[in-house]
């Protein structure tokens, strides 16, 4: 079987996933979605010059001095008319600066006496927010391909967007295979284990922007695997297990029965070497993940996440950081090794401690890890303190 590098495998997969059609949805429901069109401002923000503080709108040239109070400008209303020399207007945060005024004196620094206010020296522009300070009419605020998050959603909301155009979510069907796999509350037999792969993959897919369904797990019978794959209504089928070379590993045979054209046969990665990807005769894509949970999750992070991003029309940039090794590491073999690691944030940088046991069956290790430490193929031994690359996992905190 042809072995591709991680980078080559990812490129080959992503080349087969193009952005899905656009749909218009309410902005409030767009968190996590990817824009299919730019969001532009049809109005400046703020639309008028306004006060940053509660106080007095004045002409700086009149200060210091005692000024005649001639009116009020409150948020949402404004002041009709203009400020003449020697005058002041009571003003509140967010209220429009009256014509003629060029400065705001905060109320703590002013003394009011009936219809007069005495203010200290002020400079033009003090405590004032100019119209268009945040953005101007016509500015492109968010570009096509940007994933909406709460802060970008706020920006679109501040430009008056009620709806946005986003790419449809890819539909992903997750199929776990294997005689030994059961899902709670089913009771496992003496030689069975609980499915820990597909429940996690479903929520990963959802968090990364897909609509995911879990097909009922199938036993190691070719017909059943083929039937499950054939019936999956999805852009992408993700299988878990049965990807390797054992007598009971039927996923490739089933995919071949459905006419798969391989784009990736296996990957020079540890864990996750049996990972494969291809296009079925009917156009659906299939990503075969290995059954060992850590292998499946590492490959989900490295391949499934970018695939979903591509379907959503977003560029994918893994969240990489540089860390110092907490302990020495032996030389690496020929496969790129992604080690589960724990990070410590200390003054002066991040330290990464890879877990001692990197066995790909260990779910407890993955649940504790917050990063994947990348060891390039054939890397030489590293000492404690050496710099390494880490991929930051989206942990719950």
Ligand X SMILES: Nc1nc2c(c(=O)[nH]1)N[C@H]1C(S)=C(S)[C@@H](COP(=O)(O)OP(=O)(O)OC[C@H]3O[C@@H](n4cnc5c(N)ncnc54)[C@H](O)[C@@H]3O)O[C@H]1N2
DSSP state, 268? Answer: S
Are 182 and 194 contacting, i.e. CB atoms less than 8 angstroms apart? Answer: yes
Among the residue ranges 45-53, 95-103, 267-275, 384-392, the one whose residues contact ligand MOO (CB under 6 A): 267-275
Q: CB under 8 Å, gap of 24 or more: what pairs does 159-163 form?
A: 159/39, 159/40, 159/41, 159/42, 159/43, 159/45, 159/135, 160/42, 160/43, 161/27, 161/39, 162/26, 162/27, 163/24, 163/25, 163/26, 163/27
The yes or no reply on residue 176 touching ligand X (CB under 6 A) is: yes
| Angstrom distance (rounded) from CA 262 to CA 321 | 32
Q: Which is nearer to ligand X, 15 or 193 (CB)?
A: 193
* Structure token digits, residue 202: 């479903």
Q: Which of 19, 174, 181, 298 binds ligand X (CB under 6 A)?
A: 181
Q: How far is the CB of 198 from ligand MOO (least distance, A)?
A: 16
Using rule CB under 6 A, residue 242 touches ligand X: yes
* Residues 354-393, mask of contacts with ligand MOO (x by CB under 6 A): ------x---------------------------------
CA separation, residue 280 to residues 55, 173, 253, 275, 277 (Å): 69, 14, 12, 16, 10
The answer to whether residues 212 and 237 touch, using CB atoms and an 8 Å cutoff, is no
Q: Which is nearer to ligand X, 134 or 180 (CB)?
A: 180
Among 152, 171, 252, 273, binds ligand MOO (CB under 6 A): 273
Please state the closest distance from residue 292 (CB atom) to ligand X, in A: 4
**Phi, psi dihedral angles at 151 (to 5 degrees):** -75, -35
Closer residue to ligand MOO in complex, CB, 122/372: 372
Quick one: 87 or 292, whose CB is closer to ligand X? 292
The 10 Å Cβ neighbour count of residue 140 is: 11
Residues 288 to 327 in contact with ligand X, rule: CB under 6 A = 290-293, 295
Residues 19-78 that bind ligand X (CB under 6 A): none
CB 299 within 8 A of CB 306: no
Cis peptide before 16 (omega within 30 of 0): no
CA distance 92 to 52: 8
Contact call for residue 241 and ligand MOO (CB under 6 A)? no
CA distances from 180 to 177, 189, 229, 361 (A): 9, 8, 19, 14
Query: Which of residues 73 and 292 has its CB atom nearest to ligand MOO in the complex?
Result: 292
Q: Does 178 bind ligand MOO (CB under 6 A)?
A: no
- Binding flag, residue 244, ligand X (CB under 6 A): yes
Near ligand MOO by CB under 6 A, which window of 77-85, 165-173, 181-189, 289-297?
289-297
Q: Which residues bind ligand X (CB under 6 A)?
A: 176, 178, 180-181, 193, 195-198, 240-246, 249, 271, 273-274, 290-293, 295, 360-361
Q: Which residues bind ligand MOO (CB under 6 A)?
A: 270-273, 290, 292, 295, 360
């Amino acid at each position: 079987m042809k072995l591709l590098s991680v980078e080559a495998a990812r490129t080959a997969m992503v080349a087969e996933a193009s952005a899905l059609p656009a749909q218009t949805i309410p902005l409030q429901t767009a968190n996590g979605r990817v824009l299919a069109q730019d969001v532009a401002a049809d109005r400046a923000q703020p639309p008028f010059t306004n006060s940053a503080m509660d106080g007095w709108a004045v002409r700086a040239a009149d200060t210091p001095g005692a000024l005649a109070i001639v009116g009020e400008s409150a948020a949402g209303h404004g002041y009709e008319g203009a400020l003449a020399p020697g005058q002041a207007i009571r003003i509140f945060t967010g209220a429009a600066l009256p014509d003629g005024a060029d400065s705001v004196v905060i109320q703590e620094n002013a003394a009011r006496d009936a219809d007069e206010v005495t203010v200290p020296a002020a400079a033009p522009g003090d405590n004032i927010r100019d119209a268009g300070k945040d953005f101007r009419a016509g500015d492109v605020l968010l570009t096509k391909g940007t994933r909406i998050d709460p802060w970008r959603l706020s920006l679109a909301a501040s430009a008056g967007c009620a709806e946005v155009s986003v790419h449809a979510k890819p539909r992903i069907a997750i199929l776990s295979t294997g005689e030994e796999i059961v899902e709670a509350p089913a009771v496992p037999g003496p030689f069975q284990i609980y499915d820990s792969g597909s429940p996690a993959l479903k929520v990963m897919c959802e968090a990364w922007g897909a609509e995911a369904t879990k097909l009922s797990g199938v036993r190691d019978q070719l017909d059943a695997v083929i039937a499950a794959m054939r019936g999956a209504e999805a852009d992408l089928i993700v299988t878990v297990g049965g990807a390797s070379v054992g007598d009971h590993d039927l996923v490739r045979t089933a995919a071949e029965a459905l006419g798969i054209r391989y784009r990736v046969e296996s990957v020079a990665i540890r864990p996750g070497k049996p990972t494969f990807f291809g296009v079925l005769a009917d156009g659906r894509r299939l990503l075969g993940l290995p059954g060992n949970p850590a292998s499946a999750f590492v490959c989900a992070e490295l391949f499934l996440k970018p695939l979903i991003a591509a379907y959503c029309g977003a560029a994918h940039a893994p969240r990489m950081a540089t860390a110092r090794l907490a302990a020495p590491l032996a030389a690496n073999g020929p496969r790129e090794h992604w080690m589960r690691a724990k990070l410590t944030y200390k003054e002066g940088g991040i330290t990464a401690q890879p877990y001692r046991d990197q066995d790909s069956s260990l779910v407890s290790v993955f649940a504790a890890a917050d990063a994947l430490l990348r060891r390039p193929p054939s890397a030489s031994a590293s000492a404690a303190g050496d710099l390494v690359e880490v991929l930051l996992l989206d942990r719950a905190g």
